[in-house]
């Protein structure tokens, strides 16, 4: 293999690794955001259920 081919392989390998890392970081950020959103939805649902229960108890 010539020096030029070796440099090309090296550059392509580095770029491929960088794209993989960017994709992995993006995936982790998306999963973290999804988990936070699910937790927020759960909190709001529990608050809503508690509010409905309090209103029903107040009606009686």
Q: Which mean pLDDT values do the consecutive 10-residue runs of the chain (60 residues) have? A: 90 97 97 96 92 85
- H or E stretch including 51? helix 3-59
Structural domain boundaries of the chain? 19-60
pLDDT recorded at residue 40: 96
Between the alpha carbon of residue 3 and those of residues 8, 38, 51, the distances in Å are: 9, 52, 72
Question: What pLDDT, on the 0 to 100 scale, is given for residue 56?
Answer: 86
């Amino acid at each position: 293999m010539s020096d030029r081919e070796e440099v090309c392989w090296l550059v392509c390998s580095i770029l491929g690794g960088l794209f993989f890392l960017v994709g992995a970081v993006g995936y982790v950020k998306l999963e973290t955001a999804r988990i936070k959103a699910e937790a927020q939805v759960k909190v709001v649902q529990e608050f809503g259920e508690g509010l409905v229960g309090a209103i029903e108890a107040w009606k009686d």
